[in-house]
Structure 1
Amino acid sequence: MPTLTDLAAWLGRRLQEDRTVWRPGTPGAPVRRLVLALEPGDLPPTPPPGEAGALFVHRAFRLGERWPAWPVLTSHDGFDRALTTGENPALAARLGWAAPRPLHWKGPGDRSAATGMVADPGLPWPELLAQLDHEFGGHEALVPPADPGAPARVAVMNAMRPELLREVHGRGVGVYVTGQLRPGAVDTARGLGLGVVALGHRRSEVWGLHQLARELRAAFPELDTTVLGGRDPG
Structure 2
Amino acid sequence: MSPATLSALADWLGTHLAEPQPLKRPGPEAVTRLALALEPGDLPTDPQADALFLHRSRGVGEGWPGLGVLGAHDGFDLHLTTGPNRVLAARLGWTAVQLLHWEGQPAGLLATAPQASWGELRAALHAELGGEDEALAPREPVARPLRVALMNRLSPGTVTLAAAQGAHVYLTGQQRPSALAAVQAAGLGLIALGHRRTEWWGLGQLADQLRAAFPGLETSLYGAVR
Structure 1's consecutive aligned runs of 4 or more residues displaced over 4 angstroms after TM superposition are none
Q: 2:99 aligns with which of 88, 99, 102?
A: 102
Q: How many angstroms apart in 1 are the aligned matches of 2:75 and 2:83? A: 10
Residue 34 to residue 65, structure 1, CA distance change in 2 (3 Å): same
Q: How many angstroms apart in 2 are the aligned matches of 1:23 and 1:162? A: 40
Structure 1 residues 154-233: aligned runs within 5 Å: 154-230=148-224
Q: 2:17 aligns with which of 15, 18, 25?
A: 15
Contact 1:114 1:159 (C-alpha < 8 Å) held by counterparts: no
Partner of 1:121: 113
Q: How many angstroms apart in 1 are the aligned matches of 2:194 and 2:157? A: 21
Q: Unpaired segments of 5 or more residues in structure 1?
A: 108-112
Give TM-score, length-normalised by structure 1.
Answer: 0.90
Contact 2:99 2:106 (C-alpha < 8 Å) held by counterparts: no
Partner of 2:138: 145
Residue 75 to residue 32, structure 1, CA distance change in 2 (3 Å): same
Contact 1:122 1:153 (C-alpha < 8 Å) held by counterparts: no
- For the pair 1:32 / 2:32, whether they are aligned, the reply is yes
Task: Report the CA distance between 1:94 and its aligned residue.
Answer: 1.0
Which residue identity is paired with 2:111?
Answer: A
Task: Report the CA distance between 1:114 and its aligned residue.
Answer: 6.3
Partner of 1:64: 61
Structure 1 residues 84-99: aligned runs within 5 Å: 84-99=81-96
Contact 1:119 1:153 (C-alpha < 8 Å) held by counterparts: yes
Task: Report the CA distance between 1:99 and its aligned residue.
Answer: 2.0
The more displaced of 149-158 and 194-203 is: 149-158
What do residues 47-84 of structure 1 show as CA deviations (whole Å, max 9, x unaligned)?
A: 33xxx411000111101122111100001111111110
Task: Report the CA distance between 1:46 and its aligned residue.
Answer: 2.6
Contact 2:83 2:108 (C-alpha < 8 Å) held by counterparts: yes
Q: How many angstroms apart in 2 are the aligned matches of 1:147 and 1:216? A: 42
Match of 2:169, SS state, is strand
The more displaced of 195-204 and 92-101 is: 92-101
Number of matched pairs: 221
- For the pair 1:76 / 2:73, whether they are aligned, the reply is yes
Task: Report the CA distance between 1:149 and its aligned residue.
Answer: 4.5
Q: Unpaired segments of 5 or more residues in structure 2?
A: none
Q: How many angstroms apart in 2 are the aligned matches of 1:227 and 1:40? A: 12
Contact 1:87 1:156 (C-alpha < 8 Å) held by counterparts: yes
The two structures, once aligned, show a CA RMSD in angstroms of 1.5
Which residue identity is paired with 2:70?
Answer: L
Residue 148 to residue 33, structure 1, CA distance change in 2 (3 Å): farther
What do residues 72-108 of structure 1 show as CA deviations (whole Å, max 9, x unaligned)?
A: 000111111111001110111111111222111118x
What do residues 154-212 of structure 1 show as CA deviations (whole Å, max 9, x unaligned)?
A: 11111111121111101100000000000111121112110010011111100110010
Task: Report the CA distance between 1:122 and its aligned residue.
Answer: 2.8
Residue 58 to residue 78, structure 1, CA distance change in 2 (3 Å): same
**Could you tell me the percent identity over the aligned residues?**
51
Contact 1:143 1:186 (C-alpha < 8 Å) held by counterparts: no
Match of 1:173, SS state, is coil
